[in-house]
Amino acid sequence: METVRTSILTGQLKGCRTILAFLVPILMACPVAAQNIRPYSGPIFDAHLHYNVEAVQPYPVTKVLGMMKDAGVAAIVANSRPNDGTKALAESKNELTKSGVQIIPFIRLYRNRDDYTNWFRDPTIYQMVENELAAGTAAGAYRGIGEFHLYESQDANGPVAKKIMQLAEARNLVILAHVDDAAIEMLYAHAPKARIIWAHTGISGVPASRVVELLVKYPTLIGELSYRPGLTDGDGLLSPEWKQVFLSHPDRFCLGSDTWTNGRWAAYGEIMAGYRVWLGDLPTAIARKIAWENAARLFGLP
């Protein structure tokens, strides 16, 4: 193990402090087999991030932006319960400049935990979305709506879910949806041209073949890969099945931290380091698409 560490550290990555900041958690976290590949070293777009109320005190804005910088995260989708967390990030001009992190603000549908299971039929949620859209943030207009959850597929047909999809389509807002494959179809039935980031790409274990079927059917669907079951094997490397999916559909996936609890914030560096390991198992150009370009393109970042 030491030999591998030494050879990596004295190889072509030597001298780059930023890369070393990525490598240390990778080397600490990953089994030996995963250390034999060269981790992806380019920028990451964290397309699924929450800065919820519970995180604010233990993880102040300066700290979280510093953690992102250390992990090589150069842009984030920010969506927080309540939306104050997103605004706090958007308003921290000096820290943003220092960290170099770009903020893409999303409207969260949740004022509190009760809203998770009722938003799709609650007209006051729709009103909140309209108010937030009108107000915007210090980082500019909101660019999307979500993450929202639908624990039952048929709730995608709730009246507020339908209106929100149609609003997103009309206003060119990206949707971040934690839903199953049946709900993806229902959401697109409401708004066929909407752009949807599919949070976790089917956390309930939707088969990879079904994921591919939906990607082919809905050209504006992008899969976000946090918590995706079956993605990696015990060594932290890609499973053969998912490696093939990425090679066949390199433009259709992105990464996210999903910092839904403070435990995820505590593991932020490790989560990104884990991504860098399996991305290193792909051709560099494809790794860069999944880590950065696909999400950057969605929001018009260079």
Report, in Å, the least distance between residue 244 CB and Zn ion: 27
User: Which is nearer to Zn ion, 147 or 155 (by Cβ)?
Assistant: 147
What three-state secondary structure class fits 77?
strand
Q: Say whether 46 sits in a helix, a strand or coil.
A: strand
C-alpha count within 13 angstroms, C-beta hemisphere, residue 83: 20
Select 115 or 147, whichever has its Cβ closest to Zn ion.
147
**Nearer Cβ to Zn ion, position 37 or 47?**
47
- Closest distance to Zn ion from the beta carbon of 50 (Å): 6
**DSSP tally for the chain: helices H, then strands E:** 16, 8
Cβ nearer to Zn ion, comparing 105 with 250: 105
Single out the residue of 298, 286, 302, 279 nearest to residue 34, CA to CA: 279
What is the distance between the alpha carbons of residues 74 and 139, in angstroms, rounded to a whole number?
A: 15
CB nearer Zn ion, residue 261 or residue 284: 261
| Backbone φ/ψ region at 300: left (φ over 0), alpha (ψ -120 to 50), beta | left
What is the Cα–Cα distance from 211 to 248, expressed in whole angstroms?
Answer: 12
Q: Compute the radius of gyration of the chain from its Cα atoms.
A: 19
If binding is defined by CB under 5 A, does position 258 make contact with Zn ion? yes
Output the CA torsion sign for 5, 264, 299, 246: positive
Q: How far is the CB of 47 from Zn ion (least distance, A)?
A: 11
| Strand 44-49, strand 195-198: pairing | unpaired
Residue whose CB is less far from Zn ion, 235 or 270: 270
Which range, of 29-37, 102-110, 167-175, 251-259, touches Zn ion by CB under 5 A? 251-259
Least Å distance, CB 176 to Zn ion, is 8
Is 242 in contact with 250 (CB distance < 8 Å)? Answer: no
Least CB distance to Zn ion at residue 260 (A)? 5
Site string for Zn ion, 206-245 (x = CB under 5 A): ----------------------------------------
Instruction: Closer to Zn ion by CB, 147 or 281: give it.
Output: 147
Q: List the structure tokens of 7.
A: 């050879």
**Closer by beta carbon to Zn ion, 89 or else 286:** 89
Separation between Cα atoms, residue 62 and residue 180, nearest integer Å: 35
Q: Provide DSSP, 159-178.
A: HHHHHHHHHHHHHTPEEEEE
Asked if 46 touches Zn ion (CB under 5 A), the answer is: no
Question: Which residues share a beta bridge with 216?
Answer: none
Binds Zn ion (CB under 5 A): choice among 115, 147, 281, 293:
147
Question: In angstroms, what is the minimal distance from the CB of 7 to Zn ion?
Answer: 38
Q: Are 129 and 107 in contact (CB under 8 A)?
A: yes
Choose the binding region for Zn ion from 6-14, 143-151, 166-174, 238-246 (rule: CB under 5 A). 143-151
What is the nearest approach in angstroms of Zn ion to the Cβ of residue 49? 8
Site stretch for Zn ion (CB under 5 A), options 124-132, 142-150, 244-252, 284-292? 142-150
Using CB under 5 A as the criterion, what x/- string covers residues 259-288 for binding Zn ion? -x----------------------------
**In this chain, which stretch among 80-88, 108-116, 117-125, 258-266 interacts with Zn ion, using CB under 5 A?**
258-266
Nearest-5° Cα angle at 210, 204 to 216:
130
The residues binding Zn ion (CB under 5 A) are: 147, 258, 260
